[in-house]
Amino acid sequence: MELTKYGFISDPIKMTKAYSNIPKEYLYYESFLKKKEGFISSINFLFKDMSDMTLNTLKNVEDVETMQHIYSILTFLVTRYIWSSDEYTTAQEKNSEGSEQKFTPHHHLPKYLGWLWHYYAQKLNIKLAVNHFAVDMCNYILIDIDKPITIENIQIVRGALMYDEELYQSEQWFYKVHVYFELMAGKSIHNVLNIHSLLQSYSTSRKEIFTIDLTNELIQLRESIVVTRSIIKSMYIGCNTNVFFNTIRIYLSGSNKLEEGGIWIYNGDEYVKEIYVGGSAG
């Protein structure tokens, strides 16, 4: 990812504008995330008879920010497909009855769902992964691009739990805090790089200037650390811990957590078994 004054991502204003350029087909797919009942059968039907013309349209997206948003949508569809079923209930619901949580993951993705996900991962030169790149850093817009970056000015676009308003509120906050953290903490990387550069170029003839520059960088670094610590602590404000542990955490798991150790994806020629990696919380 590009390292800019905003952190590890490209200009968030560009990301905001890119979302409006996503092909209508993908916005249509996104609506499936809001469904719970019949999700698996609906997705199977949706991707069963995709025409070559539709596929060619979807393949011709070249704008990087738009591709990132598309990859995010596909990642959510894939994880929902793998960890959902028509009879799916959350861990919270099952645990309230005193029974152990059970999942029946789907290991065989619909032909073109898996293929498009794999295709965009290759286009973006990233591993198949359910990570913060996919679920939050390519999944937000600024509400007002003319206002400063604050947690109130960040809007999460989608989530795996959109079918349930209460669960989705916690999921949105979980992603929002991580976006805000990355946007603000990225500045500290620049401070560290600047400090390293100053130390490498130190000379006794510039001792006074060196001291002033180093002090300024250290002050800014300290301020970034203080801010990011407060951002992390804000997680408890809007993310229910039970929802995170019993539901959100499940969706962040990768196929390396599954008993079969992988999922079958169509790569354009044949079905191959792929390992995709889950988030650290998985």
Average pLDDT, the chain: 78
pLDDT attached to residue 86 = 47
Residue 10 has pLDDT above 60, yes or no: no
- Work out the percent of the chain whose per-residue pLDDT is above 90: 15
Q: Which is nearest to 8 in space by CA: 177, 171, 179?
A: 179
Structure token pair of residue 40: 């698996």
Mean pLDDT of 152-161: 90
pLDDT attached to residue 172 = 94
pLDDT attached to residue 99 = 54
Residue 26 has pLDDT above 80, yes or no: no
Residue 67 has pLDDT above 90, yes or no: no
Q: Confidence class of residue 204 from pLDDT cuts 50, 70 and 90? A: confident
**What does the H/E/C string look like for the chain?**
CCCECCECCCCHHHHHHHHCCCCHHHHHHHHHHHCCCCHHHHHHHHHHCCCHHHHHHHHCCCCHHHHHHHHHHHHHHHHHHHHCCCCCCCHHHHHCCCCCCCCCCCCECCHHHHHHHHHHHHHCCCCCECCHHHHHHCCEEECCCCCCCCHHHEEECCCCCCCCHHHHHHHHHHHHHHHHHHHHHHHHHHHHHHHHHHHHCCCHHHHHHHHHHHHHHHHHHHHHHHHHHHHHHCHHHHCCHHHHHHHHHHHCCCHHHCCCCCEEEECCCCEEEECCECCCCC
Q: Can you say whether residue 261 is alpha, beta or left, with left for phi > 0 and alpha for psi between -120 and 50 degrees?
A: left
pLDDT attached to residue 91 = 44
Structure token pair of residue 149: 């970056």
Model-level pTM? 0.77
Give the Cα separation of 58 and 172 in Å (integer).
Answer: 27
Residue 114 has pLDDT above 70, yes or no: yes
pLDDT attached to residue 1 = 38
Residue 89 has pLDDT above 50, yes or no: no
Residue 50 has pLDDT above 50, yes or no: yes
Residue 98 has pLDDT above 70, yes or no: no
User: Which residue, chain included where needed, has tokens 């898996």?
Assistant: 114
Residue 173 has pLDDT above 90, yes or no: yes
Residue 12 contacts residue 149 (beta carbons within 8 Å): yes
Residue 23 has pLDDT above 90, yes or no: no
Mean pLDDT of 248-263: 66
Residue 227 contacts residue 188 (beta carbons within 8 Å): no
Which of 13-22, 148-157, 188-197 has the lowest average pLDDT? 13-22
Give the Cα separation of 246 and 152 in Å (integer).
Answer: 26
Q: Torsion over CA of 24, 30, 34 and 35, rounded to 10 degrees?
A: 90
Residue 46 has pLDDT above 70, yes or no: yes
What is the CA angle 56-61-67, rounded to 5?
Answer: 125
Mean pLDDT of 67-90: 75
Which of 131-140, 164-173, 248-257 has the lowest average pLDDT? 248-257
Give the Cα separation of 142 and 164 in Å (integer).
Answer: 24
Residue 93 has pLDDT above 50, yes or no: no
How far is Cα of residue 201 from the mean position of the Cα atoms in its chain?
A: 38
- All residues at 6 or more sequence positions from 20 whose CB lies less than 8 Å from its CB, including other chains: none
Q: Confidence class of residue 257 from pLDDT cuts 50, 70 and 90? A: low
Residue 195 has pLDDT above 90, yes or no: yes
Residue 100 has pLDDT above 60, yes or no: no
Q: Confidence class of residue 53 from pLDDT cuts 50, 70 and 90? A: low
CA atoms within 13 A on the CB side of 185: 13
pLDDT attached to residue 2 = 42
